[in-house]
């Protein structure tokens, strides 16, 4: 299957150094406050992803007739500015979803499990950013550029609630680049090594990395509240619990979610997930093995035309994607596109991918899902 074209997206192959642009996918939503728009609730609005929800909603001009900002009792009463209006954060309760059309959840799995079904029962379409429902049969797990058909038939105005799951951030960033190649030549095996930023563990982890960096430079012992070991000037295996098979939960999310999103239970996936002392945006080394040959020049052209992807692959100046370049950007950047010399012919490729975990890895993907509901 050919990759979808994206005429508004710039392509980068050589100098001058690229400036990533905000994606325009989809292009039809360009409004804000609107009487005929949906009623929107943001659950977990005071967290890192919750704040990013508001930023993305504003950047993309998402239409709404009303907006509820919901959080814990501790945060209730706080004032939040959004599009030149002040909103008061409300305590999340069972009554919060009366007359809500779309509820964007990012308050953790336990909150999603408790309040998601309540919101759905009251007729809201829940877009959930936690892992609570991703692998539940019948719950669409969606990356809009990859598998929008998974949510066919779910629309605002259908007079009943529904649930759509947002994939794990690492899975989203990986599959944004791997899927266009998979459509062309079918991936049979994928090996992923991740280099995951503090943003993946939330605002508190980002603060702790900054604090530890100062402490270490000043010769003080580092404060380790979020992680049980020094994060500054260090890297370590992802802090998710390690399972009986030796993989941690983050790694198995990539395995299981890839199979569900691609609707292919036979694709072989293995992952090693690592925390690195980067503030924001994840990086991933991805090795792909294909059923049909795919040379690196064809792969590069496919990726140049993939929606939500930019190619940064300048070998002459040794310039490839970095977390800093994609931080606060919508597009996922891909580079280091090269034939896997350990495989015969053109049946293997290595690529390096960087994407903003808080935006495309979380908030942007959820808002794009919400746009498809309109």
Is the pLDDT at 13 greater than 50? The verdict is no
- The overall average pLDDT reported for the chain is 92
pLDDT at 203: 86
Q: What are the distances in angstroms from CA 280 to CA 236, 351, 358?
A: 16, 20, 8
What's the average model confidence in pLDDT over 83-99? 95
Residue 3 placed within a domain: no
CATH code for the domain in which residue 96 is found: 3.40.50.720
Overall domain count for the chain: 2
C-alpha 107/C-alpha 116 separation (Å) is 11
- State the alpha helices, DSSP H only, in the chain: 48-59, 109-121, 169-185, 203-217, 249-262, 296-304, 323-326, 364-372
Q: What are the distances in angstroms from CA 136 to CA 123, 131, 140, 257?
A: 20, 10, 9, 11
Q: Could you give phi then psi for residue 312, rounded to 5 degrees?
A: -125, 95
**Is residue 127 domain-shared with residue 49, that is, in the same domain?**
yes
**Catalytic option among 6, 182, 238, 282:** 282
> Tens of pLDDT along 325-357?
999 999 999 999 999 999 989 999 999 999 999
**Is residue 87 domain-shared with residue 138, that is, in the same domain?**
yes
C-alpha 238/C-alpha 276 separation (Å) is 9
Confidence of residue 20 (pLDDT cuts 50, 70, 90): low
Residue range(s) defining the domain that contains residue 193: 170-355
**Is residue 277 domain-shared with residue 199, that is, in the same domain?**
yes
pLDDT at 34: 81
Residue 18 placed within a domain: no
**Is residue 136 domain-shared with residue 185, that is, in the same domain?**
no
Residue 269 placed within a domain: yes
C-alpha 201/C-alpha 206 separation (Å) is 8
Which of these ranges, 53-57, 81-85, 141-145, 272-276, has the smallest mean pLDDT?
Answer: 81-85
Task: Decide which of 229 and 16 is more confident.
Answer: 229
**Is residue 253 domain-shared with residue 292, that is, in the same domain?**
yes
Which of these ranges, 83-87, 272-276, 363-367, has the smallest mean pLDDT?
Answer: 83-87
Q: Could you give phi then psi for residue 359, rounded to 5 degrees?
A: -90, -90
CATH code for the domain in which residue 235 is found: 3.30.360.10
Residue 322 placed within a domain: yes
pTM of the model: 0.89
**Is residue 146 domain-shared with residue 229, that is, in the same domain?**
no
pLDDT at 279: 96
**Is residue 194 domain-shared with residue 161, that is, in the same domain?**
no
What's the average model confidence in pLDDT over 289-298? 97
What's the average model confidence in pLDDT over 299-314? 98
**Is residue 188 domain-shared with residue 150, that is, in the same domain?**
no
> Tens of pLDDT along 162-171?
999 999 999 9
**Is residue 187 domain-shared with residue 288, that is, in the same domain?**
yes
Is 354 among the catalytic positions?
Answer: no
């Amino acid at each position: 299957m050919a990759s979808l074209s994206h005429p508004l997206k710039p392509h980068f192959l050589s100098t001058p150094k690229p400036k990533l642009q905000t994606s325009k996918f989809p292009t039809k939503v360009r409004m804000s406050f609107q009487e005929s728009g949906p009623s929107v609730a943001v659950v977990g609005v005071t967290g890192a992803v919750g704040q990013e929800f508001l930023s993305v909603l504003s950047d993309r001009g998402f239409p709404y007739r009303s907006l509820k900002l919901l959080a814990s009792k501790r945060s209730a009463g706080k004032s939040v500015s959004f599009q030149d209006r002040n909103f008061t954060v409300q305590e999340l309760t069972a009554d919060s979803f009366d007359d809500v059309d779309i509820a964007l959840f990012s308050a953790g799995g336990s909150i999603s499990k408790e309040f998601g079904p309540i919101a759905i029962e009251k007729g809201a379409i829940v877009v959930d950013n936690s892992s609570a429902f991703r692998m539940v049969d019948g719950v669409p797990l969606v990356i809009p550029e990859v598998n929008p058909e998974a949510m066919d038939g779910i629309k605002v105005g259908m007079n009943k609630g529904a649930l759509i799951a947002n994939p794990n951030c690492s899975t989203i960033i990986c599959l944004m680049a791997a899927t266009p190649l998979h459509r062309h030549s079918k991936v049979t095996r994928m090996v992923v090594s991740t280099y995951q930023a503090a943003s993946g563990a939330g605002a508190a982890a980002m603060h702790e990395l900054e604090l530890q960096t100062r402490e270490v430079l000043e010769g003080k012992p580092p404060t380790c509240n979020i992680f049980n070991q020094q994060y500054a000037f260090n890297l370590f295996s992802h802090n998710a619990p390690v399972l009986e098979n030796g993989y941690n939960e983050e790694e198995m999310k990539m395995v299981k979610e890839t199979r569900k999103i691609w609707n292919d239970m036979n694709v072989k996936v293995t992952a090693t997930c690592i925390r690195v002392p980067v503030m924001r945006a994840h990086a991933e080394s991805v090795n792909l093995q294909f059923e049909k040959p795919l040379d690196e020049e064809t792969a590069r052209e496919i990726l140049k035309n993939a929606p939500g992807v930019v190619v940064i692959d300048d070998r002459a100046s040794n310039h490839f994607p970095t977390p800093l370049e994609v931080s606060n950007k919508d597009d996922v950047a891909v580079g280091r596109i090269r034939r896997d010399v350990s495989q015969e012919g053109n049946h293997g490729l290595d690529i390096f991918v960087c994407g903003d975990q808080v935006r495309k890895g979380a908030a942007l993907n959820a808002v794009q899902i919400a746009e498809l509901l309109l």
